[in-house]
């Protein structure tokens, strides 16, 4: 079993600092130090001495941020600009309220519960869980929780923070139609949750002038980057015929735009491209990406605010929070 002195030596801090973190006295300890100590404890499977009263009646002032997935768009989840922006917003709002953030991998619910209990976190913000996975965690862990971007099936009793995906899809579909792209295609990585609701909105927008948008225009692209590029190569004739592509994320939209430009295909002269999220990708790409903007910082702040209400046993007015979105028109879509 690793000793407190061993941890202190590896992190480069005193035994007292490690002990303070173990006991929840983290007010004067930096977030970076807490994270380093946490990682070592997780690696070594350290279980603190269960001395009676060590955590009793004492708030740890730690909020666990549980990542419900390890990869997105074929890259590690923490490399994604949306996740990075969301994490920054969570950390900023938590610190403003005197809390620290601890990242927790949500792949193994047993380990998730063990870490949350070991560190006596005051509550959890959970990104990307299904409602079923949430209830599985709830059965083994009694902590306050706020879910983010969960799409429940039927009735539910948890607090959820998301966006109006349907409205965003409708806005982009209607805009492409008005720009003369009546045959635009919708490309997503799944057929469920946010992708599906964005498709439903896109379909509605494309039908806003009385036409019909068949589900045959809903394409599921591979999650693996190399496979996705091969898929684009295969679908290139269909893309050229359609003249416009709407993606369920900015990351895949910019990737596809680069694919087209590398092959000498003009964007938007030959193919218009649109995304979703208004992430860093959209703002620095050339041409700049037409997309649907969601306020990631506001989503993060609301998540922390709602969790603190639960922790403080204050009333929650509603369970499901859907933040509004808006269309941002840039240079990647050509209007005829």
- Structure confidence at residue 328 as a pLDDT band (50, 70, 90): very high
Taking the C-alpha atoms of residue 325 and residue 85, their distance in angstroms, rounded to an integer, is 17
Mean pLDDT value of segment 99-128: 92
- Whether residue 71 is predicted with pLDDT greater than 90 in this model: the reply is no
Q: In sequence order, what are the beta bridge partners of 256?
A: none
Of 187, 169, 171, nearest to 238 (Cα)? 187
How many CB atoms are located within 10 Å of the residue 291 CB? 32
Whole-number pLDDT of residue 100: 94
Whole-number pLDDT of residue 9: 86
Residues 6 or more apart in contact with residue 224 via CB below 8 angstroms: 74
Mean pLDDT value of segment 101-107: 93
pLDDT digits (tens, 9 = 90+) for 206-217: 999 999 999 999
319, 156 contact by CB (below 8 A): yes
State the Cα torsion 208-214-216-222 to the nearest 10°: 40
For residue 178 the two structure tokens come to: 């008005």
- Structure confidence at residue 34 as a pLDDT band (50, 70, 90): confident
- Among 90-99, 147-156, 168-177, 234-243, name the one with the lowest average pLDDT: 147-156
- Structure confidence at residue 66 as a pLDDT band (50, 70, 90): very high
Of 191, 167, 182, nearest to 276 (Cα)? 167
Report which of residues 227 and 336 the model is more confident about: 227
- Whether residue 53 is predicted with pLDDT greater than 70 in this model: the reply is no
Mean pLDDT value of segment 224-232: 95
- Structure confidence at residue 1 as a pLDDT band (50, 70, 90): low
- Among 2-6, 70-74, 271-275, 276-280, name the one with the lowest average pLDDT: 2-6
Q: Residue 66, SS3?
A: strand
102, 129 contact by CB (below 8 A): no
- Structure confidence at residue 45 as a pLDDT band (50, 70, 90): low
Question: At which residue do the structure tokens 């590896």 appear?
Answer: 10
112, 66 contact by CB (below 8 A): yes
């Amino acid at each position: 079993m690793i000793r407190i002195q061993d941890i202190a030596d590896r992190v480069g801090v005193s035994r007292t600092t490690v002990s303070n973190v173990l006991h929840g006295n983290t007010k004067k300890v930096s977030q970076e130090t807490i994270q380093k100590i946490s990682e070592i404890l997780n690696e070594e499977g350290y279980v603190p001495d269960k001395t009676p009263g060590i955590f009793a009646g004492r708030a740890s002032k730690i909020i666990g941020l549980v990542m419900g997935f390890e990869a997105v768009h074929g890259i590690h989840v923490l490399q994604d600009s949306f996740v990075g922006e969301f994490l920054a917003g969570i950390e900023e709002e938590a610190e403003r309220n005197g809390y620290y953030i601890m990242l927790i991998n949500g792949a193994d619910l047993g380990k998730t519960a063990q870490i949350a209990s070991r560190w006596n976190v005051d509550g959890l913000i959970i990104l990307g869980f299904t409602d079923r996975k949430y209830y599985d965690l709830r059965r083994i862990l009694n902590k306050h929780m706020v879910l983010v971007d969960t799409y429940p099936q039927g009735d539910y009793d948890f607090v959820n923070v998301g966006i109006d995906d349907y409205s965003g899809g409708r806005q982009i579909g209607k805009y492409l139609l008005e720009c003369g792209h009546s045959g635009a295609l919708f490309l997503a990585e799944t057929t469920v949750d946010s992708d599906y609701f964005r498709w439903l909105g896109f379909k509605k927008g494309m039908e806003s002038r009385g036409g019909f948008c068949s589900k045959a225009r809903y394409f599921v692209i591979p999650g693996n980057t190399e496979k996705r590029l091969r898929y684009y190569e295969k679908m290139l004739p269909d893309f050229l015929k359609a003249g416009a592509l709407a993606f369920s994320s900015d990351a895949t939209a910019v990737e596809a735009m680069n694919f087209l430009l590398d092959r000498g295909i003009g964007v938007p002269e030959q193919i218009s491209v649109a995304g979703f999220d208004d992430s860093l990708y959209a703002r620095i790409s050339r041409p700049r990406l037409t997309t649907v903007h969601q306020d990631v910082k506001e989503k993060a702040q609301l998540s922390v605010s709602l969790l603190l209400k639960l922790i403080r046993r204050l009333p929650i007015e509603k369970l499901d929070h859907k933040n509004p979105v808006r269309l941002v028109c840039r240079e990647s879509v050509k209007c005829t």
